Amino acid sequence: MGDCTHLLFMDADTQVVSTVEFDDIFGVKPLVGVQHPCHALGMSPHNTGTGAFETNPASLCHVTVNDDTSMYWQACVWGGVMDHAKKLIDTLDYRVKVDESSGIIAVWHDESHINKYFIEYKNMVHTMHPQYAYPELFSSMLEWEPKIVHLAKNNSDYQVGE
């Protein structure tokens, strides 16, 4: 068995439902993310102002007016070439811990931090079509064929303060 060269993270509530080839995910750039389906559809909160991005300037993942916020990634599927994936993980670990030590939890938790990182390294991110994070919850609204389904759950059950 050889060394691991790539990492693909998938939430426990995702399910691969169609053939996914290695090159579909890893063949282009050293990092990979998936466009958030709600962003692709222009659904709230992605269709107004700063959308779902973190705006608290005290957080290490907040977006600024200088950031390119034209893409929003869903954190249910991401990865990359191992050394780039490790740098992503180490950076997010550090940033989340700094925020936590200041009493800050980003609006969309790890997803907010992944988005900031991907904005910073956008030229290194292969962004997959939302069919790789196909939302089971509102599949009737979609014309895409699913590759990876993000299974239905009530997100508000997991939000702080709700």
Instruction: Estimate the crossing angle of helix 82-101 against helix 110-120, to 10 degrees.
Output: 130
| pLDDT confidence of residue 1 | 45
pLDDT at residue 138 in the model: 78
Strand arrangement of the beta sheet that strand 73-81 belongs to: 6-10, 73-81, 31-35, 125-128
Q: Domains of the chain by range and CATH?
A: 6-45+53-68+81-152 (3.90.550.10)
CB pairs under 8 A, 24+ apart, for 17-25?
Answer: 17/134, 17/146, 17/147, 17/148, 17/149, 18/145, 18/146, 18/147, 20/132, 20/147, 20/148, 24/128, 24/147, 25/79, 25/126, 25/128, 25/132
pTM confidence score: 0.90
pLDDT 10s per residue in the chain (162 long)?
468 999 999 999 999 999 999 999 998 899 999 999 999 999 888 888 788 999 999 999 999 999 999 999 999 999 999 999 999 999 999 999 999 999 999 999 999 999 999 999 999 999 999 999 999 887 788 889 999 999 986 656 655 554
Q: And the tokens for 77? A: 């599927």
